[in-house]
Structures are given as C-alpha cells and as structure tokens.
Structure 1
Amino acid sequence: MEQKINLTITKPCTEKFNQFNKTEKGGFCNSCKKEVIDFRNMTDKQLSSYFKSKTGKACGYFDTSQLTRDIQVQEFQQPKRLQFLKVAALAFLSLTSLHHVQAQEHQPKTEIIESFENKTQANKALEQDKLLTGTVVEESGPLPGANIILEGTTIGTSTNFDGEFIFPKTLKEGDVLVISYLGFTTQKIKIKKEQTQLNAVLNINMEYDTSCILMGEVDVNTVYETKRTFWQKIKGIF
C-alpha cells in the first residue's frame, strides 16, 4: 500500500529568510514570532518523516520542486515469500562469485617487473597532481551532488558527500567549467593560468536561485492510496 502527500503554500511569505536569526532547524522570524524550518536540502524520506510526526501547522522554506510533486509516505513492504526469494537469489550470486574467485586463485600469477611498476605509479601520481581539485559549498555547508561540467562537452564530475571533487581531465587556460545544482544559480568559471598548474584548487560558493524558492505556512494534503500491481510486485524483487 502506498500513501502520498502533497505540500502546498497558499500564502507565500515576503520576509527575507537570510536575515532571520539562525536556529538548529532553520531561522526565527521576528515578524510572526515562530521558527521557519529550512526544508530545501531534505530528501523525500526526511520530508515524509517530518510531516508524519508533525501535529500542528509548520512554516517552511522550500525549493519549489518540493512543492510540485507527490511525496511517498509509506514504503511498500514486500511479502515474506518475496523477501525469501530475493535473499536466495543474493546467496546464489555470492556462491557463484566465490567459485569464480577460487578459480582465479589457481591461475598462474603474472610476474611484475618492479622498475616498470614504480614508473607507472610515478606517472599516475603526476597525472593526478595535474587534475584540478576543489570544493562546492553553499551558505550552510558542503553541497554534495553538484555537477561540474567542461562547457561544450559531456566531460565532468560530481561532488562527493563533503562537497569535494576532482575534475577527470587536465584543463587549460581559457576552459570554462559549468557548475550547477537544482535550486541554485548556475555558475560559469573561466580557468585561469594558475588553475592549470600542479595541485591547483578551485573553491566555489553557490547561491540559491530565489526564483526557485518559496516560504510560508505549509498545507499537507493526502493525495491518494494505491495498491501495487502484479508486475510491480515482480519488479520489486530485483
């Protein structure tokens, strides 16, 4: 059984969130004398958990994409029989993998010439030092999952949990990196000469796209409840 909710703000607030006194969960609005929760970086699971336990009205600061889709409240629980089949399949794959590893152990090992190996490692280390590294942050801390793309190409990478990245290609002076993340203003950064040298670092501070942000009192509406079809149940096994 699936239950979903939809979040709406019928009367948007015109106060400036960045001028509020910061609190643990957001900021305190002196105009309405209440805490405004910052929901912008919450996942659907976190939003669901918050509003399931919330008894009264909440005032929140949202990315508009969070207000234009249904949010699943209750995850589908697989029948025990299906869970057993899934576990059995995983066990079979594990045994197959173990047999493959044991077979490989009996393969004759290839002799590696030490001088060649050391040279290869040195070359890799030098290539690594030539790659641009950096961090992408926003006002509250690191921004994981931000995209960094070389303009005009499909070459790029994404930031890790700590907002850090290593660009996979050596850059040259004049190249342009495009940094983007949903709800933030896209930035274009032209690479300077010093950013093409060894161990170069680029730190980027992203700003919220105010056209994608909405603040106000939240209305929570139950959208619908549905039962999974037979084919959805079969798909859920894998």
Structure 2
Amino acid sequence: MNMKQHFNLSITSPCSEDFENFQATETGGFCSSCQKNVVDFTQMNEEEILQYFKNNTGKTCGKFKPRQLKTYTLSSTPPRRYGLQWIGTGFIGLSLLFANNDSMAQSQSSPPMPVETHSNENTNKSNSEEYSQPTSHTITGQVINEEDREPLPGVSIIVKGTTKGAITDINGRFKMSDIEDGLVLQFSYIGYSTIEHEVSGQSTIDISMEKDQVELMGDVVVEGVYTSKPSFWQRIKRAFQ
C-alpha cells in the first residue's frame, strides 16, 4: 500500500497587482513591486501542481484559478526490498534467454520465403483519390457544466469562420451534419469560457465547460501535510515485495 501525503493550498491575502504587467519568466512573471517571481499555475493540471509542491518546499507566490485551491493527495511508492521475489525474477530472466536463443536458431535454419511483388500503381492511385476527398459526417454530443456535471442547454456551437452552427437542447445535446475533418467548433455560453474543438474523425463530441472565474494571486499557504503510517502487517508485507 502506498504512503499518502495530503496538503491543502490556499491564498489568505490575495495580491492586487496586475499579472499582465509582470515581466515574463520561465514559470510565470516577475513582480517589480514585491520583487518576487509569481508562478502561473492556471495552465497546469493537477498532476503538474502536485509535482511542483513535491519538489519545491520553500515559499511560493502563485496565480491560481479558485478551483485549484483545494486539498491534494500525493501518493509515493516506498522503495522496494528485494527478497524471495529476486529469485523468481532470475528464473524468469533465464527462461526468456533460452527461449530467445531457440527462436533465433530456428529463424537461422529456416530458408527465407520468396516474396511476390505486385504493382502498387492501382493501390496508390486509389489511396491518393481517397485522401484527396474531404471526409464529412454527422456529429452528435453533449455539453455539461464541469463543476456539477449537469447538462447545459442553450450553448451556441459555431463552425469557426462560418455562420453554420447549432444550439444545445434542454439536455445539453446537439447534432450537426456535414462537418468535415479539420474544422474547428466553437462552444460559447454566457458566463463560461469559450472552448474550441478541432474535428478529427469523431462522430461523438462531449464537452465540459467551466465558469469564468477571477484568478487569485498571492503567497501560497501549504498546510495540513501529513504522512499515513503503515501498520505492522503492511510493513511485514513490504519486506517481501
């Protein structure tokens, strides 16, 4: 069983500085007023945020989306102890070695099979004609609210650069015909961030939309860190892993 660390991220005193005026850095922006580097976490996923705070234990000033300020769980696998399992691994390695030698001997003793050659002119011509024609199909899907997973009715869906579009029904579902691969669909809804999705062979597209939220910036407070201790029997079990 893995050992788990749980920690909560929060910003108790949000900063009022404008991040757009900061000098760009490799991880975010430099605030001349505070003389600090502000890490931009808004473009990171949960795994990237976990890795950052796993590798950085000092003070951090960052910019977050409100939903990113929460409790995280980080699992770390304990070092393996070699016991009886090492012996089994050795036998498996020897078995694979002998099997590989046998297969090589058989391949060397068997004469090569003659290869028949055929003209690929017709095949290449058929393939070129197939790829030259754009693929269009009907697309169906559903748009939901990322926060509560509820359907969003009335979402506007437009093929980017055109006036062709559709609107989701009361169940958040939509249907669009004659959509070619490579086109970009724009999903727009009042109070939500617009999403663009490129069509690439899909017949079903499900979209999650999140509300526009004010981003928070300031010194990050990391608290509630603890490590769950393994029981006696868990320690005995690990000794043989």
Bigger Cα Rg? 2
**Scaled by the length of structure 2, what TM-score is found?**
0.49
Higher share in helix: 1
